[in-house]
Amino acid sequence: MRTTTGWQATGPTVLRRASLERRDLRPDDIAVQVDYCGVCHTDLHALHTYDQHTKAPLVPGHEFTGVVTATGAMVTTFSVGDRVAVGNIVDSCGVCTMCEAGQENFCHSFPTLTYGGTDRQDGTTTLGGYSREYVVRNTFAYPLPGGLDPAAAAPLMCAGVTVWEPLRSLGVGPGSRVAVAGLGGLGHLAVKMAVALGATTTVISRTQDKLDDARKLGAPDLIDSTDPQQMATARDTFDVLIDTIPAPHNLAPYLKLVTMDGTLSLLGYLGPLTVEATDLLIGRKKLSSAGSGGRTATAEMLQFCADNGIAADIEVLPSSQVDTALDRLQRNDVRYRFVLDMSDLD
């Protein structure tokens, strides 16, 4: 086994520095020195529900970038020293129709998650990117295109591809009218990508002071979701509404803003929803959801971001301040994504 260092949960929201084991490289593995790892809402959720007495070890982190330090015998696509990025999926069955379509995120036997997943060969629980080294099957690592800052690119691997997939699958391009509800880690990347895809992009927020931010991101308009007049004026307007609000909320007012045959894509809150069928019926609206992405979309997204100068707006903290990052994320006190610098683990 290989040994590295990381931040491991010892109870809900408590992380301690710990020595971790990584597997010896399989023929198709690479070892990655993790330089930067984003802090995702999923990490908070995993920590909040963690009980060390009943669960396997937890090391969060599923959006990271770094450098290849070793390659397995069969690996031909990566060399030591290459810059790479890894997201929230590290394996899949490879043979189902979804895997064959490049949509490993929908693998029929469920993809292996970057942390908290079960390795398909040895059955161990995967430990995430809040660590200095990660060993990953090379097909689930992505070359980090030149021009992308490795710290600001880390959040692209979860937040980025999560907004990219619906924008692409819903056909957003020049002439599209896109609204982004909620301006946070997901939302700010959705705005940047929608603008770069050529869409007229509007931010919907209950926080009036995010108007300035929205303008900087390229969205000319903000709709204050607490103003009935603004919401009424925007009725039947948007081809795609990317809903990144990370808590349960009434979908009806947002569905009203979607144009006929348009789609509300729910990304921020993934629990049970209650929706009135008539809110879908009247004006012929569609409801969808998204999260993560397949290998094809992930690679495409990285190249698009490199070509268009897109990365996350981040605040970098040394990994030893992970508790601060999680606490402030909990209070929405970040614009817009924390990234941990892992070099302090050396």
Residue numbers at the binding site for its own copies (CB under 8 A)? 97-98, 101, 103, 106, 108, 165, 169, 235-236, 260-261, 263, 266, 269-278, 280-291
| CA nearest neighbour of 268 among 169, 336, 342, 344 | 336
Tell me how far, at minimum, the Cβ of 294 lies from its own copies, in Å. Answer: 10
Q: Which is nearer to its own copies, 288 or 330 (CB)?
A: 288
CB–CB of 118/126 below 8 Å? yes
Tell me how far, at minimum, the Cβ of 287 lies from its own copies, in Å. Answer: 5
Cα dihedral 128, 132, 137, 140 sign: positive
Q: Exposure of 3 by Cβ count < 10 A (0-12 exposed, 13-18 middle, 19+ buried)?
A: exposed
Q: Which residue has the tokens 């614009």?
A: 335
Tell me how far, at minimum, the Cβ of 182 lies from its own copies, in Å. Answer: 15
Local structure of 209: helix, strand or coil:
coil
Q: Which residue type, as a one-letter code, is found at position 185?
A: G
Q: Which is nearer to its own copies, 127 or 301 (CB)?
A: 301
How is residue 167 written in tokens? 């924008």
Tell me how far, at minimum, the Cβ of 141 lies from its own copies, in Å. Answer: 24
Q: Which is nearer to its own copies, 19 or 109 (CB)?
A: 109
Q: Which is nearer to its own copies, 263 or 319 (CB)?
A: 263
Q: Which is nearer to its own copies, 165 or 213 (CB)?
A: 165
The residues near 274 (Cβ < 8 Å, ≥ 6 apart) are: none
CB–CB of 300/141 below 8 Å? no
Rg (CA), the chain: 20
Tell me how far, at minimum, the Cβ of 241 lies from its own copies, in Å. Answer: 13
Local structure of 207: helix, strand or coil:
coil
Q: Which is nearer to its own copies, 24 or 276 (CB)?
A: 276
Distance separating alpha carbons of residues 330 and 121, to the nearest angstrom = 35
Tell me how far, at minimum, the Cβ of 11 lies from its own copies, in Å. Answer: 27
Q: Which is nearer to its own copies, 56 or 273 (CB)?
A: 273
Tell me how far, at minimum, the Cβ of 271 lies from its own copies, in Å. Answer: 6
Q: Which residue has the tokens 């391009």?
A: 173
Maximum distance among all Cα pairs of the chain, rounded to whole angstroms: 63
